[in-house]
Amino acid sequence: MAKFEMLHGTDDLIAELGEIARAQVAREMLRESAPILVTEMKAKAAAHQETGDMVESIKADPPIATSDGISCVVSAKGTGSNGTRNAEKMAYLEYGTYKQKATPVVTPATNAAEPKVHAKMQQVFESRCKL
């Protein structure tokens, strides 16, 4: 069954249009800044590559709307040539195993990328909002 919500007056319309515009700007900010984190993660993971499968699989998903707002996931995708999931390999590096000491990749990459991501997001915001 279809459900329609009615907007009451121009104030509601302006508020609704504002929400749409904010979501579009947020998606653009994430699309533009995600490659920065991808580059940092690949650089940190490269020191641990055996086949290169995991490093090459690090990608950003398109921004999506969630209950918490707009988000974008950067992670290792797919499986390596040996059949092990690349995200699983990344987790082993990040947290270690009972046989292997942790050699974090995600945390240092995130810390290194954070100021660059913030700057890029600010740049996109200002260009879209003409500040």
For 39-57, how does the pLDDT look when each residue is reduced to its tens digit (9 = 90+)?
Answer: 999 999 998 877 788 999 9
pLDDT at 130 over 80: no
Give domain status of residue 60, yes or no. Answer: yes
Give domain status of residue 14, yes or no. Answer: no
Distance from C-alpha of 61 to C-alpha of 38, rounded to nearest angstrom: 11
Give domain status of residue 11, yes or no. Answer: no
Domain housing 66: 33-129
Burial of 103 (0-12, 13-18, 19+ CB in 10 A): middle
Strand stretches in the chain, DSSP E = 58-60, 64-66, 69-71, 74-76
> What is the phi/psi pair of residue 93, to 5°?
-65, -45
Give domain status of residue 82, yes or no. Answer: yes
Give domain status of residue 81, yes or no. Answer: yes
Give domain status of residue 13, yes or no. Answer: no
For 102-123, how does the pLDDT look when each residue is reduced to its tens digit (9 = 90+)?
Answer: 999 999 999 999 999 999 999 9
Q: What is the pTM of this model?
A: 0.81
What's residue 16's pLDDT? 56
How many domains, the chain?
1
Give domain status of residue 17, yes or no. Answer: no
**Cα within 13 Å of Cα(126), Cβ side:** 7
Give domain status of residue 7, yes or no. Answer: no
